Amino acid sequence: MTATTAENRTHSRARTGGPEDGPKILEHVLGWTLVVVLAMFVTQAGLM
């Protein structure tokens, strides 16, 4: 195996369907918003 072949193998990734190079801050904000909304739902439903 040549160095070029090894390099090509390490750079290939499995596609998961998520955003490739989207804005990371938006992803974090939406994730934490989901966590807060879920926590509010759990406390309002009396599950905690």
| Sequential DSSP letters for 7-28 | HHHHH-----SS-SS--HHHHH
pLDDT above 90 as % of the chain: 38
In whole numbers, what is the pLDDT of the chain averaged over residues? Answer: 79
In this prediction, residue 45 carries a pLDDT of 92
Predicted model pTM: 0.51
In this prediction, residue 7 carries a pLDDT of 55
Q: Tell me how long the chain is.
A: 48
Q: Is the pLDDT of residue 30 over 70?
A: yes
In this prediction, residue 2 carries a pLDDT of 64
CA distance 8 to 5: 5
User: Got the DSSP string for 26-41?
Assistant: HHHHHHHHHHHHHHHH
Within 8 A by CB and 6+ apart from 19, the residues are 27
Residues 10-19: tens digit of each pLDDT: 566 677 776 6
